[in-house]
Amino acid sequence: MNELEKQLHYPFGDALPAPGAAMLVAPGVKWIRMSLPFALNHINLWLLRDELDGVQGWSVVDCCISNDAARAQWEQIFNQELDGLPILRVIVTHMHPDHVGLAHWLCERWQAPLWISATDYCMARIGTLGPTGFGGESAAAFFARHGLNDPDAMEQVAARSTYFPSLVPSMPNQYRRMQDGDALSVGGHHWQCISGYGHAPEHISLHCAELGLLIGGDMMLPRISTNVSVYDQEPEANPLRQFLDSIDRFRSLDAQTLTLPSHGKPFTGLYRRIDQLHAHHAERLAEVLAACDERPCSAAEVLPVLFKRALDLHQTTFAMGESIAHLHLLWHDGRLQRRISDDGIYRFSSRTATAAAGPADQAHAT
């Protein structure tokens, strides 16, 4: 446990749900923890006791990736944790593979509707049906424009054209839209939808004031900072500003709210965690700004400023997205300016450095 984690409170201590089992965290709310084959090696899923159209059962929040191990864990849950009742609906916080990967399977198996934001539903459909699956030549060219032009790295990024559909092979043909401010009645309790941006196109967290719970998804994690990246589909986005503005919305919730994150352990100390995330990104932004004050920097050149450890290619793709996101916040805020260098790479610098180097691209530096 790091020093920041120690400032939070974990009501269940080190207790974790056993594989294929669930742990009660509140009346009618069960915690499932499933393994992932990544460095981030688990995801938390939630079962909510429910009644829909007069039928008793459960709602599921998030699904895990599509693979045999996850399906096997779900089969154990079906046999051991549902009290003989069906899954009534599948609620997905956002479109990333570990959250939506098995939505099609769960919905088909239980004839249950999918509940998700419209934006994330459509983006997930693009990922499963599109020609590149959120990767391929377009992603490689985008990263190269930001300085990641090592031939081996570019070749590997270009080859990852099937990454998303390999984890999310299909999406249900229909869905029920969730959007900010909606109130869901789940098991006699009211859960309010809170939209968040920056990590996903339209992430939905769920807050139940009666139970004192926040299903935070990936918007509020206790140990790590949520990945906030710029992607080739929206190359001039400002997701870090969106993310920081979004988490401030949780300050309206009760300070003692028990946060149920998608990764890590349930915790209290929501306001403290919001402050920690702001401080973390403020420190990283200051480091990036200092580096760009010394000389114009590309996102690839900022990687060692933001990440002090060696990165493999999988980690580098996420890190590049985050590096661009930090540069873009400073650019959109007018603290940095962007120009295309002679080598065709975007580099960012302070106004003084830019004036010395030549005309800046100021189209979005407002």
Q: How many CA atoms lie within 13 A of 21 on its CB side?
A: 7
Residue 21 confidence class, pLDDT cut points 50, 70, 90: very high
Quick one: average pLDDT of 307-328?
Answer: 92
- 257 by DSSP, 3-state: which? coil
Residue 99: which of 187, 246, 205, 211 has the closest Cα? 205
- Is residue 304 predicted with pLDDT exceeding 50? yes
* Domain spanning 3-131+160-278, CATH architecture: 4-Layer Sandwich (3.60)
For residue 340, what are its two tokens? 């295309």
- Is residue 295 predicted with pLDDT exceeding 90? yes
pLDDT of 353: 57
Mean pLDDT for all residues in the chain: 94
Quick one: average pLDDT of 26-50?
Answer: 96
Phi, psi of 322 (to 5 degrees): -70, -40
- Is residue 361 predicted with pLDDT exceeding 80? no
pLDDT of 128: 94
Structural domain spans, the chain: 3-131+160-278, 294-357
Percentage of the residues of the chain whose pLDDT score is greater than 90 = 84
Q: Answer yes or no: are the C-beta atoms of 62 and 43 closer than 8 Å.
A: yes
pLDDT of 314: 78
Phi-psi sector, 318: left (phi>0), alpha (psi -120 to 50), beta: alpha
The amino acid at 221: L
> The pTM is what?
0.94
pLDDT in tens, 99-114: 999 999 999 999 999 9
For residues 10 and 309, the model is more confident at 10
Determine the CATH number of domain 294-357. Answer: 1.10.10.10
pLDDT of 310: 86
Report the Cα–Cα distance between both ends of the chain, in Å, rounded: 40
Could you give the CA distance from residue 135 to residue 292 in angstroms, rounded to a whole number?
29
For residue 203, what are its two tokens? 């992430």
For residue 126, what are its two tokens? 């693009």
Angle at 136 between CA 198 and CA 69, to 5 degrees: 75
Q: Answer yes or no: are the C-beta atoms of 71 and 100 closer than 8 Å.
A: no
Tokens 């090592």 -> residue: 150
pLDDT of 160: 83
- Is residue 359 predicted with pLDDT exceeding 80? no
Question: Which alpha helices (H) appear in the chain, and where do they start and end?
Answer: 3-6, 68-80, 97-100, 103-110, 118-129, 136-145, 151-159, 163-167, 239-247, 270-294, 299-306, 313-332, 351-357
pLDDT of 134: 77
- Is residue 313 predicted with pLDDT exceeding 90? no
pLDDT in tens, 39-93: 899 999 999 999 999 999 999 999 999 999 999 999 999 999 999 999 999 999 9
pLDDT of 315: 86
Interhelix angle 136-145/151-159, rounded to 10 degrees, is: 150
- Is residue 270 predicted with pLDDT exceeding 60? yes
pLDDT of 1: 67
For residue 52, what are its two tokens? 């829909």
pLDDT of 96: 98
CA distances from 323 to 206, 227, 309, 349 (A): 29, 11, 14, 14
Tokens 């996903």 -> residue: 200
Residue 133 confidence class, pLDDT cut points 50, 70, 90: low
CA distances from 131 to 113, 221, 229, 314, 317 (A): 27, 32, 21, 21, 19
- Is residue 19 predicted with pLDDT exceeding 90? yes
pLDDT of 365: 37
Q: DSSP labels for 226-240?
A: PP----TTSTT--HH
- Is residue 163 predicted with pLDDT exceeding 50? yes
Quick one: average pLDDT of 283-301?
Answer: 98
Q: How many CA atoms lie within 13 A of 240 on its CB side?
A: 24
pLDDT of 156: 86
pLDDT of 352: 62
Could you give the CA distance from residue 165 to residue 225 in angstroms, rounded to a whole number?
26
- What residues are paired with 297 via a beta bridge? 348
Q: Residue 141, class by beta-carbon neighbours within 10 Å (0-12 exposed, 13-18 middle, 19+ buried)?
A: middle
- 47 by DSSP, 3-state: which? strand
Could you give the CA distance from residue 324 to residue 239 in angstroms, rounded to a whole number?
10
Q: Answer yes or no: are the C-beta atoms of 349 and 336 closer than 8 Å.
A: yes
